[in-house]
Amino acid sequence: MVGYAFMGAAHSQGWRTVGRVFDLPLRPVRAAICGRDPDAVRAAADRQGWAAAETDWRALVDRDDIDLVDICTPGDSHAEIAIAALAAGKHVLCEKPLANTVEEAEAMAHAAEEAYARGQLAMVGFNYRRVPAVALARRMMAEGRLGALRHVRMTYLQDWLVNPEFPLTWRLRKEAAGSGALGDLGAHIIDLAQYLAGEPLFGVSALTETFVRQRPLPSAPTSGLATVTAAGTGAGTGTGTRTGQVTVDDAAVFTGRFPSGALASFEATRYATGRKNALRLELNGERGSVAFDLERLNELSYHDATEAGTHAGFRRILVTEPDHPYLEAWWPPGHGLGYEHTFVHQARDLVHAIAEGRRPEPSFADGLQVQRVLAAVEESAAKNSVYTPIAGPAAG
């Protein structure tokens, strides 16, 4: 594994747990974890159960005893690490979004296709596909329970940037993160929309905004930061505070269309005050609807429009039955799962794909498709950045 912070810990939990819950055709061995800070990565290795610690990802790629490289770093390093790992004969799991640009994602997808011919697999980590309720919604959609799709409605709301004193971390720098709420949160709901609909988005129209454009520098700023300004010039900064330019979006709102004619709407923001991790979706079809809220992730709401109107309506499905996706290995009905279990399910699916030699889902090609949508949203938002006032009623 390359990276040991938030996503590294989440992926470690998945690898540590998967073989204890599911019967697997192969046994994952946590050989080594990598990070630039020797003390921090050693502590992470001890805490998360990795056999060794490295400070250069190239050392992992060169090791003959490593079959799979799991990439949990910021987006600016995904392409270099993934392409090198595939060239060295490794399988690859890469966190989302796949890359920071379409060009990088194209190179990664091309490398993955060539590697597949040699027996190596590459998967992108869109973990919310592995929520049992979301997987059940996809199954119901594929079975025709909703009929022809009309609307897809997706939101992902967080509020961790509301405070203007929050420091200028790598997630707020375009050169490291690629984009802001769009790539971090929007990538998830774009992937889920296409996964659930079973077809790619066809076109988008978008608006983005950066609400706080200057933020305090971290206590130990890294190289490559945006221009540093004197105290008092950044929004919300105190006297004597050095600030840097925020170079990504804080929020994105966009609409889309599927080839089938279904319409989609998306909202991704880090400024929804009071919302911590509110990923919500709803699909409306000619024969029914489903709705899901990540903050109630063991539940799926379902409306069957073919029932008589006298007793029809949305009903709550508690997604904890053993014949629901992934739940055959877990607890008795009614005993819910949590966020971390999506990474266990992700590891399970990838191990089975490797053992069976089949393409994993989502593939790097799927990640490239999401990257193309992200780029289209940015292009549309740039074109829509000049506002034309709406004329009011004529005087008199």
The string of pLDDT tens digits covering residues 262-321 is 999 999 999 999 999 999 999 999 999 999 999 999 999 999 999 998 988 999 999 999
Average pLDDT (178-190) is 96
Compute the Cα dihedral for 115, 138, 206, 383 and give only its sign.
Answer: positive
Name the CATH superfamily, with its identifier, for domain 132-296+298-337. Answer: Dihydrodipicolinate Reductase; domain 2 (3.30.360.10)
Q: Is the pLDDT of residue 148 over 70?
A: yes
Q: Where are the alpha helices (DSSP H) in 122-199?
A: 132-142, 174-177, 181, 187-197
**Cα–Cα distances in angstroms (integers) from residue 315 to residues 11, 288, 299, 300, 303, in the given order:** 33, 11, 10, 8, 6
Pick the CATH number of 6-128 from 3.10.129.10, 3.40.50.720, 2.60.40.10, 3.30.379.10: 3.40.50.720
Q: In sequence order, which residues have a C-beta less than 8 Å from that of residue 373 and are 6 or more positions away?
A: 190, 201, 204, 256
Task: Give the pairing of strands 263-269 and 251-257.
Answer: antiparallel
What three-state secondary structure class fits 124? strand
| Nearest one of 141, 102, 93 to 262, comparing CA atoms | 141
Mean pLDDT along residues 209-238:
60
As a whole number of angstroms, the distance between CA 271 and CA 210 comes to 10
Output the CA torsion 378→176→231→249 (10° steps): 20
Q: What is the mean pLDDT of residues 155-184?
A: 95
pLDDT value at 171 more than 70: yes
What confidence tens digit (pLDDT) does each residue in 344-364 have? 999 999 999 999 999 999 999
pLDDT at position 240 is: 61
For 306-338, write each residue's pLDDT tens digit: 999 898 899 999 999 999 999 999 999 999 999
Provide the 8-state DSSP code for 289.
E
Task: Flag whether pLDDT at 229 surpasses 50.
Answer: no
Residue 138 phi/psi, 5-degree rounding, is -65, -40
Q: What is the mean pLDDT of residues 117-134?
A: 98
Query: For residue 184, how many other CB atoms are within 10 A of its CB?
Result: 21
Asked if the model's pLDDT at residue 122 lies above 50, the reply is: yes
For residue 221, the model assigns a pLDDT of 42
pLDDT value of residue 232: 37
SS3 153: strand
Among left, alpha and beta (phi > 0; psi -120 to 50; other), residue 359 is beta
Model pTM?
Answer: 0.92
What is the pLDDT at residue 282? 98
Q: Give residue 66's pLDDT.
A: 97
What's the mean per-residue pLDDT of the chain? 93
Q: Which two structure tokens, joined as six digits, stand for 19?
A: 């073989």
Q: What percent of the chain has pLDDT over 90?
A: 90
Tens-place pLDDT, residues 50-69: 999 999 999 999 999 999 99
Q: pLDDT tens digits, residue range 74-115?
A: 999 999 999 999 999 999 999 999 999 999 999 999 999 999
Mean pLDDT of 122-140: 98
Domain spans of the chain, in order of start: 6-128, 132-296+298-337
pLDDT of res. 227: 36
* Crossing angle between the packed helical segments 364-383 and 102-117, to the nearest 10 degrees: 170
